[in-house]
Amino acid sequence: MNTHTLPAFGLGTFRLKDQQVIDSVTTGLELGYRHIDTAQIYGNEAEVGQAIADSGVARDELFVTTKVWTENLGRDKLIPSLKESLQKLRMEQVDLALIHWPSPNDELPVADYLQALAEAKQQGLARAIGISNFTVAHMQQAIAAIGAAEIATNQVEIHPFLQNRKVVEFARANGIHLTAYMPLAYGKVMQDATLLEIAAKHGVSAAQVALAWSLQQGFTVIPSSTRRENLAANLEAVKIRLSDAEMSAIATLERGERLANPGFAPKWD
């Protein structure tokens, strides 16, 4: 098992730019979020860094993740790109640096860019390293390259409509922690009858039930929101305890609905 503990709850920042991301991160930090998820491609690292700096929250109380974009996976680019991220974020080290996507069409070997990422960690640019959107085949290559213990998480799309069971099973069997991205299926969970019914029983929202479902399986969740009331409500999901029957009912909602599926995505499991 790896020794890097990821906080169970984080704040996503995909699509949020300029003042909107500053406001979301500022409000999140005010409400008690201490784990922020950004990426080079989001084009908001500088604003995330600004919001963190202005918040007055001590750096060592925060867990900050960024992700290396596909164009920066080459040996000559990966470390310089992370240094640029750190400059934008106004910090000397991120808590977690992830490979955002496997190299498109596997143009670059997994071992090469993971070894470069491990070198970045050795240089102190990241406290921990990990992967994102890695399939079982990519995880196998990652383990062969740097060992499962070095992989702090595999951040993948997981929500009630895409439960990603093959990836989950393989990661669990190899002691790799999972982070559920788009845990609210980008807001779609709010319309689901089963989730609404369970939510009504608990006196909570469908979004909170979806987050509780992920948390209860041991996944880290990183929902995003531009609204204070949603940011606050989402954090409250840690208090919900779903019954076995409720967990089983949500398990039946799987429908292979993948929301993050760009043209360069790997061949999914």
Binding-site annotation: residue ranges for substrate: 100
Binding residue for ligand NAP, selected from 260, 266, 268, 269, defined by CB under 6 A: 260
Amino acid at 204: V
CB of 160 to ligand NAP, least distance (A): 11
Residue 165 to residue 158: CA distance in whole angstroms: 9
Site membership for ligand NAP, residue 117 (CB under 6 A):
no
3-state secondary structure of 43: coil
Binding residue for ligand NAP, selected from 225, 240, 242, 250, defined by CB under 6 A: 225
Is 225 within 8 Å of 211 (Cβ atoms)?
no
Which range, of 121-129, 169-177, 184-192, 193-201, touches ligand NAP by CB under 6 A? 184-192
Site membership for ligand NAP, residue 268 (CB under 6 A):
no
Structure tokens of 213? 């479902």
Which range, of 75-83, 102-110, 165-173, 229-237, touches ligand NAP by CB under 6 A? 229-237
Which range, of 8-16, 25-33, 87-95, 165-173, touches ligand NAP by CB under 6 A? 8-16
Annotation marks residue 33 as catalytic: no
Residue 214 to residue 222: CA distance in whole angstroms: 10
Amino acid at 69: W
Residue 107 to residue 113: CA distance in whole angstroms: 11
Within residues 138-167, the interface with ligand NAP by CB under 6 A covers 155
Binding residue for ligand NAP, selected from 116, 146, 215, 222, defined by CB under 6 A: 222
Residues 6 or more apart whose CB falls under 8 angstroms from that of 86 comprise 92, 93, 94, 125
**Residues that are catalytic:** 42
